Amino acid sequence: MKTRQQNQLVERVKVYFSLTKPKVWWLLVFTGLGGSITAGGVNDLTTTLMAAITIALGSAGSESVANYLEKDIDAIMARTRRRPLPQGLIKPEWKALVFGCVLIILSLALAYAINLLTFIFMALGIFDYVVVYVMYSKRRTPLNIILGSFAGGAPVMAGYVAISNTLTAEAWILAALVVLWIPSHVWSLALKYRDDYMAANIPMLPVVTSEDKAIRCIASTAILMVLFSAVLYFLYPHKYGGIYVAAAALTGALLTYLSMELMNKPTRDNAWRLFKFTSPHLAILFLAIIVDSII
């Protein structure tokens, strides 16, 4: 009997963990860690860890709330039908909303315990994602991902100011890397699953315009992000040296190649290949940022 109860508990934990969309928030936590380390977090590992937990809780909570708010469209789209709520794995469904809100409250409480700036950026990021993106713009305008892109950069800012307790140009540049990364990442996914988004009546850019125009936008934003990644080296050559330059050059070259390949052969398979590389590209950039900052 005890083993059966333990198995049920483990399965319940797995369900709620998947509700948080860990494949999404792990990268946000990593970029936030990059912000903390860049600001000098190696010398304050306690605050760095607190910031990482804050970002993880806020991101996981936001995704849980989003899953609750989007349960109707998730049930329509083939890509999302296996999420916990469409499968009926959480009953009653309001438990998912309460779970997400509790995580958000814990995140904001911990952020406030760190400092006011960390609280502000966590609160703004959560608001931008849940309210501006999910509740307001996602179902109304193709500008949805642009309006919600600040949420992607907020963890970097939260991680940075948790250590520095001040705003710098460097912090904004690091956050801008993530903001510029988001359109090509999301739009390439939307192009691959265009029929899904059409069925759910979600006006993502690849849905409301021709595939050719959407592909040009995807490729252009990806290349813009590659070009912008050089700004850190030119402004802070003493800090972002050979490791960052090599990582940015190599991954940027591959991202540019995939973007040009998508423009030359505008297929959904090529869009999927671009999408699959966007997350590793950002992760490698921030790994290089972390290593260069430590060295």
Residue 191 sits in the same domain as residue 291: yes
**Helical H runs in 128-210?**
144-147, 150-164, 169-192, 194-199, 205-208
pLDDT for 147 equals 94
Last residue of a domain, one of 167, 191, 217: 167
pLDDT for 269 equals 84
Residue 115 sits in the same domain as residue 81: yes
Q: How far apart are CA 68 and CA 144, in angstroms?
A: 19
Low-confidence ranges of the chain (pLDDT < 50): none
Q: Is the peptide bond before 92 cis (omega within 30 degrees of 0)?
A: yes
Q: How far apart are CA 14 and CA 208, in angstroms?
A: 36
Domain at 212, CATH number:
1.20.120.1780
Q: How far apart are CA 194 and CA 261, in angstroms?
A: 19
Residue 133 sits in the same domain as residue 31: yes
Domain at 50, CATH number:
1.10.357.140
Residue 79 sits in the same domain as residue 174: no
Full residue range of the structural domain in which residue 294 is found: 168-295
pLDDT in tens, 8-50: 788 899 999 999 999 889 999 999 999 999 999 889 999 999 9
Total count of domains within the chain: 2
Residue 179 sits in the same domain as residue 209: yes
pLDDT for 141 equals 94
pLDDT for 2 equals 59
Torsion angle of C-alpha atoms 156, 143, 194, 215, degrees rounded to 10:
-80
pLDDT for 1 equals 53
Residue 15 sits in the same domain as residue 119: yes
Last residue of a domain, one of 125, 143, 167: 167
Residue 184 sits in the same domain as residue 111: no
Residue 112 sits in the same domain as residue 238: no
Residue 136 sits in the same domain as residue 241: no
Output the CA–CA distances (angstroms, integers) from residue 106 to 57, 100, 111, 143, in the order listed. Answer: 7, 10, 8, 31
Residue 158 sits in the same domain as residue 182: no
Residue 138 sits in the same domain as residue 174: no
Residue 116 sits in the same domain as residue 238: no
pLDDT for 236 equals 87
Last residue of a domain, one of 136, 167, 198: 167
